[in-house]
């Protein structure tokens, strides 16, 4: 069994536009960890990454806690206050607003009853799958 606690660990930072710090984390395997991050709503904001290797998990964890407490990354929840959770909810809401289902024929907002079923528009009745598409995007 591999002793991960004594293995080198990376302290990484994700930055967005204008070098705004988005997220700080640690891992012994950046590629695998970042694949997990790619599922987060904020991932599309990442423009650059820095990485610092530390001798073991304890050193990396201590550095991560200090970085989160002093650098105020936007989307860390672990070791951070409620402000991060609020920012994530706000981002999800803004993303949902941007993805409001729109009729694939008229480009007007779909009626609440659409749900990908037949509905009437100024162009007649048609089967619309825009709601389903928006829900799939929001789920990811």
Cα of first residue to Cα of last residue in the chain, in angstroms, is: 33
* Domain covering 4-96 assigned CATH 3.40.640.10 in the classification: no
The domains of the chain are located at 4-96, 99-139
Rounded CA gap, 50 and 76, in Å?
A: 16
Q: How many helices (H) and strands (E) does the chain have?
A: 4, 5
Q: How many CB atoms lie within 10 A of CB 67?
A: 21
Q: Among candidates 28, 32, 22, 36, which has minimal Cα distance to 7?
A: 28
pLDDT digits (tens, 9 = 90+) for 32-61: 998 888 888 788 889 999 999 999 999 999
Share of the chain above pLDDT 70, in %: 54
Q: Global pTM?
A: 0.59
């Amino acid at each position: 069994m591999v002793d991960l606690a004594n293995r080198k660990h990376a302290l990484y930072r994700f930055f967005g536009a204008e070098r705004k710090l988005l997220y700080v984390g640690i891992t012994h395997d950046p590629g695998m960890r970042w694949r997990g991050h790619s599922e987060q709503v904020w991932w599309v904001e990442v423009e650059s990454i820095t990485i610092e290797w530390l001798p073991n998990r304890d050193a990396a964890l201590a550095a991560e806690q200090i970085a989160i407490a002093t650098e105020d990354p936007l989307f860390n929840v672990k070791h951070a206050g409620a402000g991060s959770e609020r920012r994530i909810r706000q981002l999800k809401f803004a993303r949902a607003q941007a993805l409001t289902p729109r009729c694939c024929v008229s480009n007007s907002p779909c009626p609440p009853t659409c749900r990908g079923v037949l509905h009437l528009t100024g162009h007649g009745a048609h089967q619309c799958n825009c709601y389903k598409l928006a829900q799939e995007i929001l789920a990811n």
